[in-house]
Amino acid sequence: MATAHPIPDTRSSSAPPGNGLLVTVAEMPAEQLESVFRSLTSTFPTEELIVAAPNQTGAADYPTLRILPTQATNAIWPLTATDFVNAHQLAVEHKARAILMLGPGANSLSSAALHNLANAALGTQTDLAVPHYKLAANAGLVNSAILYPLSRALFGSRVRYPLAIDLGVSLRMAERLAHAGHRFTALNQGDSILWPGDEALVAGYTVDEIDVGSRMLPQPAEPNLNAILALVTGSLFSEIEAKAAFWQRPRRLPTTSGPVTKMLPVEGTVDAAPMVEAFRLAYTNLQEIWSLVLTPNSLLGLKRLSAVEPAAFRVPENLWARIVFDFLIAYKLRTINRGHLLGAMIPLYLAWVAGHVNVTASGTDAELHIEAVAAAFEADKPYVVSRWRWPDRFNS
C-alpha cells in the first residue's frame, strides 16, 4: 500500500544495474548476529548480498555473503543521521541497488519479513519500505500515544511505526536521507534522529508499509522514561518545526490503510494506580508550568481527571490531542526551557498510559483505542495550524 504519491519523474520501470542488496546490521550480540547471517543466506540464496556489520563473528561460516566491517554507531535505538550517511556511502561505493537496514534484535524478524522489506526496495515502485510490527498491547506506547497520531495528523501518513528500526530503502531514498544526515554530522550531531517517512513524503517518494509480524524490540540497559520521551518527542517536535511549510498545507489522508494486525495479548496485569498517583502529584506541583503551556479548557479537563479514581481513569482522546499540540506550540515558541517542557510532559503521558491500560483491561481492543486517538489528532489539526501561525491566539 503506497502511502505517498510519487512525483512525476518516478524511477524507470527497470532497476539500475548493480551488485544487488546492501544489508546494514546494527551492533548486537554474536549469537544474534549469526542468526541474522543464517536468515540472510537462506532468504536470498540467489541475490548477491553485501552485508555491513560492526562485528565479524561467524562471518567465515557464510562464504556467500560479502561481509564488510563497519564502525558501530548506535547500539540501541533508533537509526541516526550517521547510520544513513554511512549506508548511502557504502551503497554507492559497492554499486548496490537498494539497502536493507536492520536494527538491534533483527534476528527475531522472520525470513518472510526480510524478504518482503528488501524486495519492496529492490523493486521499481517503492522508495521506502517501513515495517508494521505486531507488538503486545502495552508495548511501544510512546509511539502509540505521540509519534504515530502526531505524524498521521500533520504529515498525512498512516505508517503505524514512523520511527521503525528496520527499513528497506531505494538508492534515491538513501541519497536523500544521507543529504539530510549530513546537516547533522557537519555540526557533530551524528547521533541525531532522522524521520525517513517524513523525508519521503516531502520529496513525493513512495512509502509502503510491510507487515512483518512480531519482533523483539531492543531495550536500553537502564530504561529511563524521561530520557526516552525527551529524545524521541523532542526530535519529532524539531522535525515538525523544520517542515512546517509542508504539513500546514491541506492534504488528504490515504483512504486505504496499511496492514492491520491484532496486537498480541498482554501477559499479566498492569497496575494503573501508580501512574495516576504520579499524575495527581504533578497536578499539584506543576500548575505554574502547565498554565504557561495549556489552554484553560485543557487545565479544566486535568482538574476533573485529578479527582477520578484509578480504576475509572481515562484521558479523553480530544483532551490528549490538545495537550500534545499545546506542548508542540510551546516547544516551537520556547515558552520555557525545552528540557523542562518535555519533563513536564512526562506525568501527562503517564496519565494517558494509565487510561490506555484501563481501556484495554475493559476488553476494548488496544488498536481500536489507538486509532481513536489518532482520529482525534486529525480532527484537531486546524487548531494547531491556527496556533502555529498566530501563536498569541490562545484558544480555549
Average of per-residue pLDDT values in the chain: 88
Measure the CA–CA gap between 364 and 223, rounded to whole angstroms.
28
Instruction: Retrieve residue 61's grid coordinates.
Output: 561460516
Q: What domains lie within the chain, and their CATH numbers?
A: 20-247 (3.90.550.10), 273-389 (no CATH)
User: What pLDDT, on a 0 to 100 scale, did the predictor assign at position 15?
Assistant: 37
Rg over CA atoms, the chain: 22
> Considering only CA atoms, which of 118, 344, 90 is closest in space to residue 234?
344
Instruction: Retrieve residue 110's grid coordinates.
Output: 522472520
Tell whether the model's pLDDT for residue 172 goes beyond 90. yes
Tell whether the model's pLDDT for residue 378 goes beyond 90. yes
The amino acid that residue 239 corresponds to is E
Q: What is the pLDDT of residues 315-369, one digit of tens each?
A: 999 999 999 999 999 999 999 999 999 999 999 999 999 999 999 999 899 999 9
CA 296 to chain centre: 31
Between CA 196 and CA 198, with CA 197 as vertex, the angle to 5 degrees is: 95
Confidence of residue 267 (pLDDT cuts 50, 70, 90): low
Over range 69-95, report the average pLDDT. Answer: 86
User: What pLDDT, on a 0 to 100 scale, did the predictor assign at position 8?
Assistant: 34
Better pLDDT: 10 or 352: 352
Q: Is the pTM of this model over 0.85?
A: yes
Q: What is the pLDDT of residues 119-144, one digit of tens each?
A: 999 998 999 999 999 988 888 899 99
Over range 302-307, report the average pLDDT. Answer: 97
Tell whether the model's pLDDT for residue 226 goes beyond 90. no
User: What pLDDT, on a 0 to 100 scale, did the predictor assign at position 77?
Assistant: 73
Strand order through the sheet with 128-134: 65-69, 49-53, 20-25, 96-102, 167-170, 128-134, 207-214
Measure the CA–CA gap between 59 and 36, rounded to whole angstroms.
11
Better pLDDT: 237 or 17: 237
